[in-house]
Each structure stands twice: as structure tokens, then as C-alpha cells.
Amino acid sequence: MKLLLLITLLLTLSCSHKKEQSLLTSPTSIQESILVLQDFESEELQADVSFTAAQAEFVQTSKIVNRGNQALKVKFLSKDNLHSSLALKPQTPYDWNRYTDFNIAFDISNQGQHSVQLFLDITDKTGANYTRSVSIPIGPTKTYYAKLAGHDLATPEGRGDIELNFLSGLRNNPVTWESDEVQFISLWGKKNLDVSAITKIELSVQYALFDKEITIDNIRLRHNPKQNEAFLKDIVDQFGQNAKQDYPGKVHSLEELNKNKQQELNALTGELSSQFSLFSGWAKGPKQKGTGFFTTGKVNGKWSFIDPQGYPYFATGLDIIRLGDAATMTGFDLSDPQTRKGRHVALDSRANMFEWLPEENDPLAKHFGYIGNNHSGALRKGETFNFQRANLERKYGQNYEQEWLDVTVDRMLDWGFTSLGNWTSPKLYSNNKIPYFANGWIRGNYKTVSSGQDFWGAMPDVFDPIFAQSADKTARRVATEVNNSPWCVGIFIDNEKSFGRSESKNSIYGIVINTLTRDGKEVPTKAHFTQMMKTKYLTIENLNLAWDKSITSWQAFEKGIDSSLVNDAQEADYSAMLFAYSEKYFSTINQAVKKYMPNHLYLGARFPVWGMPMEAVKASAKHVDVISFNAYKEGLIPKQWEFLIDLDMPAIIGEFHMGAMDRGMFHSGIVIASDQNDRAKMFKDYLYSAIDHPNFIGAHYFQYADGPLTGRAYDGENYNIGFISVTDTPYTEMVEAAKSLNKELYPRRFGN
């Protein structure tokens, strides 16, 4: 009798299983193996193999030379599980230091019902890890690999940089050798691990809406084959597309570009769905009291936007409906960016990527630009070129921007979306056909504090009076753009602020920990924290007793202390201080927004799921009209969002996406589909999970257009995440999915 193991905790498999015949076939092309880590041939799994929230069983595979004929089928369980995994944790860390040019490979198939996004995390003895990911499509066995070291760019010590991401400026590069195998996509973490002491190799499924399954075999290290020395050369054609691949939707000529345009224009109607009210609410739904502006309320027990006429409204739509984000670094710099004098190569590897860039006298040279301070990437500054704008001029002529904006509105209406998402161009605010979401950034010379992991930049010192002045200035500017329009659903201010990360207590309370080390005479937030503790403890002796510290005086506390966490009482105080900081942030902005836009909703700062400590979320709930989150997952797992039920607050997803690798791009994005059809299915599944949740009242997809093939100038994002390509060509699969989803949106959300 076959023994099926249900693993719901981290357990070690150490028992026998009856072999089961499988239709699996093994890949035929084999690179030279230098070390087999696990081939699953033993009737008992080695003690270093463990599982979390998974089922496992042995299955039989086709026999191939030196590989054996047994593999392991793993079913990753989705119900209430945010993380399900298979891990190799050796009793003695793996020492691969003697290998200088190698990769790790896995033979994997998928006989399940869904594609499987598989995360690969490799961890060294320091606790550092590097995360990569890949989508395993339904089908037979393929080999999937990730480079661990190589000679792409050898360091003085002789060990190569495993990826060129931050040296080429791409988030993920083209493959460095040709094969039928699939490379894991680079995501985040420490790129060059200490391979002399690898403590864990983990394959996981995360935030899955459905159970997923794979069959895995032959986990091994292999020598890297000789790389294609031109893998980064001439990879971009005149349209900003992949020059070395052909694929559906690729534009090959100006004639083809304009033929595509005419076909689409002939099909677009720009008509509002008959289901929708004037403001894209549900015209057939239970009407509420209209106020002339968007509000919130409950309809049939579920939170909802209420449109200006009183109809229930759920926000769907796309982010980044603008053109500024499509510029990419060319690899050139300018001595004088204003006059474009002194043009010179700043980085060969980027300058050589382009088959074509316009000459100075070319009409399309107007789409050159310059960026002086990048967030990340190969160059901190330099020349940029915007292929998207160039293609729109080729397509629509000199008045391309207005033509594109008009076509975009027609597209959104035809595709059934109910809104224009965040970072929509203010030029669309007056379209009066489809509601929009406005946005603003607080900029100013206020003091700052740090969470210790300030991804997009330092956090504001919210107790500095200049912060309130800056918030006031931002709200006043946004109010001028919105102009009290009933078409504005609400306003996002800022984005993905680093309130704290969830990895540890130190990362959750990073703002407090770092601020307590500073001098309150220079840091207003520190002065506020000091006063909070004085009010609570009265004497420094009382605080020392509670915190198990030996701080000499309140003056010493004010000057800066060792803020390391040592006990529960201290943690409770850190929690209170983080709440106070967060409440000051949201209350200050809310006051400014309501001062200038009393008729509009304040939608918060779009917490990223990696940066949403509950203290900050609960503080925001006191001052925002709708809590906003950016959640790059396969969908919204109810277990993760239980706190919204307790808060009884409406919420909106500001960003989600999914991408694939079948249309010439070098990176799929954070959530990975196996192809465009799978991407379209996953898009619908994500929105179903939002529509079905009683607290969520909208979800916006990020973004309208793909990222540039060679990465956006600001930070190198080069994702296939658009509804349109760089040539302004819609992805038919995504468009049809949107039409279908938006047609059933309101009956599914509010119907009985």
C-alpha cells in the first residue's frame, strides 16, 4: 500500500514508499554534473530533506544514464498556508568553494492543474540568502538551473559575479548560453553567497490560491558551459524590442506598426458598459445615498465605494498610465545635459545593447533624456532614451501624446475597467468618461529618520514642523490638479514607505531602534519618544528596571542610547512608539488632504506586504478613509487579511501584477506565469480573490505598459507586466481576460 505523507510542520521524511508508475520523461540534454546533492533513489529520504505544508511520495521515471529511475512528487498545500516548501538542510554545510564556474540544476515536471511559481532560496552560514524564481508549466520534465558562480565578470579573487544585474542595469539578463533548459529569474537578496558554507536550499510555493504540485529529481551542481560572449550585445532593435527573438505581437516594420494601429482603431468603440452608471458604478445594483462625490459604505454586508450618484462601485484599472517611466539608460553620459554636449560612452555593456539609437538630427532624437540620480542600476546618472514615446510618434504622428491619451481612454472603456489607477497622468483627470485616482509625493527639507532598511529612501521625521508644511504643500498642489472633480475617487499620498519589515523584531521596530540612538536635540521624533517614556516611567530608574538597562539619566536617554531589544516590556514600548510615529504621519497628511480636498477620500500610502507592521496599519486606520496595500502575490489569502475584519475598514490593492517570458522580455516580474494565457488566467484569479473579500473595494494592476527591455532608467525594472508592449500593442490574452472579468465584476461582488 502506497504511503502518502501529509506534512503540515517542518518534518523530516525518513520512511519507505512504494514506487508508482509515472508518465514522466527525463530531459535528454545533460551538462556535466560535478556533484549530486539529491537524486531520490534511496528507498528512504536522507535526513537533510524536510517539508513544510506539503505532501510527498516517490514516483517512477524513465531510466536514463547515471540518473536512476525514481523521483519525488511534492504537493504544496494552499489552504491557510502562506508558505509551503521542500528544503535540503545538510547537517554539515555544503562546501562548494572549490568550484569557480558552476550552477545548480533540478529536473522538474508538473502533472498538476495549475502552473507552479517556484521560489528558490539558497542560504549561507551568515544567514544571507538569494531568491530566484521560475514558473513550471503543466507538462513534462525540463531542467531548471540557477548560476552560483561564473566567469561572466570575474572578481580580482577569481570568482565571478553570478549575475550581472547591477552591473548591466537589468533586473535579469538574457541567458548567457543557449539551451533548452530554463534559468531561474533573479529576484532579490545577496547575489554572491559564501558558497563554502551553504546551510539550506529551499524550493517553495508562496501565497498560492490553489494546491500546486511538481515532480522533482536530480538536484545537482554542474559546470557552466562556455557562454555566448555577445549575450548582451545588439539585444534591442529599433522599436525597443528583443532583437534576437521572434514572437507573436512583435513589430517588424513601420508598415506593420501602422497596420496594427488601424486594426485596433477600427475595433475600439470607447463606449461605457451598459451595466455601468455614469461613474462606472453598478447601475443595476442596490442604490445608496449619493453625495455628488465618491464615498464608502457597506452594501449587502460588504464594504464598497459609493459613486457620486449612489451606485455601488468597485475599482478595477491599470497603474502608470503615463509615458515618463518608459525611459531606459543608453550607456552614454553627457558633459552638459542641457546642451547635449560632450556625449561619451559611460558603460560599454549598455551602449552595446542597442542596434539603433537616433542620430542627433533625427526627429526621434527628441526622445533622448537625462537622469541625474538613479535609485539603483549600472549607472547613477546618464543619458536615457524613451522607445515607447518614439514608437507612439511613429504610430500617431507629432500629436502622438494626445492621440495616445484618447486611445487609452477608449481602451479602458472597451476593456471594461472602472477606473484609471495610481500615477495616471494629470492630463487625463479631465476626461470625464472614467473615474481616476490622484496621487502626490511629500517632498521637502524636513529631517529624516531610518528604519534601517529604507528601500525607497529615508523616512520623514514626522515631528519636524517642516514635514507638516511639506504635506500641506503637496495636498495644495494635488487639489489644484483635481479641481474638486467628482470623477476623482480619492488620493494616494506617497508609496511603499519603510515603516518596518516583518523578518524580525529588530526589522519591525527599526524606526524606533535607530531613532533612539540619536540626539533628541537634532531629531524631533527622538525628542517625542523621550517624552513618551518620561510620561510613562517618570524616573529613569523605573525605565531601567522595566527595560533591564543601566541608562544614567534622562539626559543620557535624550542624547542617544543602546536601543537593542532585550525583553517584552521594552518591546511593548517600542510598539507604542512605532504606533505614535505612524499615527503622526497619517494624521498630518489626512489633515492636509481634508483641508484642501474635503470632498475626496484619503487612501493612505499603499503599504507593501513586506512593510506593513500592525502598529502602522492600525494607526493608519484612524486617519485614512481606505487602507491601501501593494500585494505582489498570486492572490489575497484570507488568512493574511484577517486583521481587516477586526478593523472593519475598507481596503484597496494599489498594485499587483504577473508576467511571463514568452514575448521576448528578460524578466517576468515578481509573480510569474508560464505564458500569456496563464498570465491572463492568473490576472483573473487574483481579482476574484479581491472581489470575493468583504473588505476590499478595489484592485489596480501594475502596469499599463511593459517595462523597457533594458530596464527603466530609475531602477532597472524590465518586466513583462504590461497590457501593452513597448510598441503600444495590446496583449490580446490580457485584454480578453479583463473584458470577461469586468463584465462579471458587479454581479459577483454584490449579487445574491
- State how far the Cα of 110 lies from the Cα of 119, in Å rounded to an integer: 15
Lowest-pLDDT range of 5-9, 31-35, 341-345, 512-516:
5-9
C-alpha grid cell, residue 124: 549561507
Query: 227 or 417: which carries more pLDDT confidence?
Result: 417
Task: Tell me which residue has cell 480578453.
Answer: 736
pLDDT attached to residue 41: 85
Mean pLDDT of the chain: 91
List the beta bridge partners of residue 459. Answer: 449
pLDDT band at 43 (very low <50, low <70, confident <90, very high): low
- Cβ atoms of 329 and 711 closer than 8 Å: yes
pLDDT attached to residue 272: 96
pLDDT attached to residue 371: 94
pLDDT band at 158 (very low <50, low <70, confident <90, very high): very low
Percent pLDDT > 70 in the chain is 92
Q: Where are the beta strands (DSSP E) in 65-184?
A: 68-76, 83-88, 102-110, 116-124, 129-136, 139-149, 182-183
pLDDT attached to residue 5: 40
What does residue 149 show for φ and ψ, rounded to 5 degrees?
-160, 155
pLDDT attached to residue 17: 35
HEC per residue, 549-611: CCCCCHHHHHHCCCCCCCCHHHHHHHHHHHHHHHHHHHHHHHHHHHHHCCCCEECCCCEECCC
CA distances from 289 to 292, 293, 294, 299, 305 (A): 9, 11, 11, 11, 12
List the beta bridge partners of residue 204. Answer: 85, 119
- Mean pLDDT computed over 484-492: 98
Burial 146-163 (b: 16+ CB within 10 A, else e): bbbbbebeeeeeebbbbb
C-alpha grid cell, residue 374: 538613479
- Cβ atoms of 211 and 71 closer than 8 Å: no
Edge to edge, the sheet with strand 328-329 lists: 328-329, 382-385, 368-371
pLDDT attached to residue 374: 84
Whether residue 453 has a cis bond before it, omega within 30° of 0:
no
C-alpha grid cell, residue 307: 459613486
Longest dimension (CA), the chain: 80
Asked whether the predicted pLDDT for residue 64 surpasses 70, the reply is no
pLDDT digits (tens, 9 = 90+) for 82-94: 999 999 999 999 9
Asked whether the predicted pLDDT for residue 521 surpasses 90, the reply is yes
pLDDT band at 752 (very low <50, low <70, confident <90, very high): low
List the beta bridge partners of residue 217. Answer: 107
pLDDT band at 442 (very low <50, low <70, confident <90, very high): very high
pLDDT attached to residue 42: 74
Neighbours of 244 (CB within 10 A): 15
Asked whether the predicted pLDDT for residue 18 surpasses 70, the reply is no
- Mean pLDDT computed over 131-141: 96
Query: 414 or 68: which carries more pLDDT confidence?
Result: 414
List the beta bridge partners of residue 343. Answer: 334
pLDDT attached to residue 191: 79
Question: Looking at the domain covering 5-223, what would its CATH class be?
Answer: mainly beta
| Range list of H helices, 345-464 | 348-351, 387-396, 400-414
pLDDT digits (tens, 9 = 90+) for 288-344: 999 999 999 999 999 999 999 999 999 999 999 999 889 999 999 999 999 999 999
pLDDT attached to residue 730: 98
pLDDT digits (tens, 9 = 90+) for 243-283: 999 999 999 999 999 999 999 999 999 999 999 999 999 99
Kindly report the pTM of this predicted structure: 0.93
pLDDT attached to residue 66: 47
Asked whether the predicted pLDDT for residue 4 surpasses 70, the reply is no
- State how far the Cα of 423 lies from the Cα of 440, in Å rounded to an integer: 9
pLDDT attached to residue 168: 81
Asked whether the predicted pLDDT for residue 475 surpasses 80, the reply is yes
Give DSSP secondary structure letters for 4-45. -EEE-SSEE--S-----B------S--PPEEEEEE---SSS-
pLDDT digits (tens, 9 = 90+) for 616-666: 999 999 999 999 999 999 999 999 999 999 999 999 999 999 999 999 999
pLDDT attached to residue 46: 64
Burial group, residue 352, by CB count within 10 angstroms (0-12, 13-18, 19+): middle
- In single-letter form, the type of residue at position 482 comes to V
- In single-letter form, the type of residue at position 310 comes to G
- State how far the Cα of 418 lies from the Cα of 435, in Å rounded to an integer: 7
pLDDT attached to residue 7: 38
Q: Find the helix packing angle between 568-596 and 614-621, rounded to 10°.
A: 30
pLDDT band at 44 (very low <50, low <70, confident <90, very high): low
pLDDT attached to residue 154: 40
Cβ neighbours of residue 317 under 8 Å, at least 6 residues apart? 412, 417, 418, 419, 420, 421, 437, 700, 701
Percent pLDDT > 90 in the chain is 80
- Mean pLDDT computed over 384-403: 97
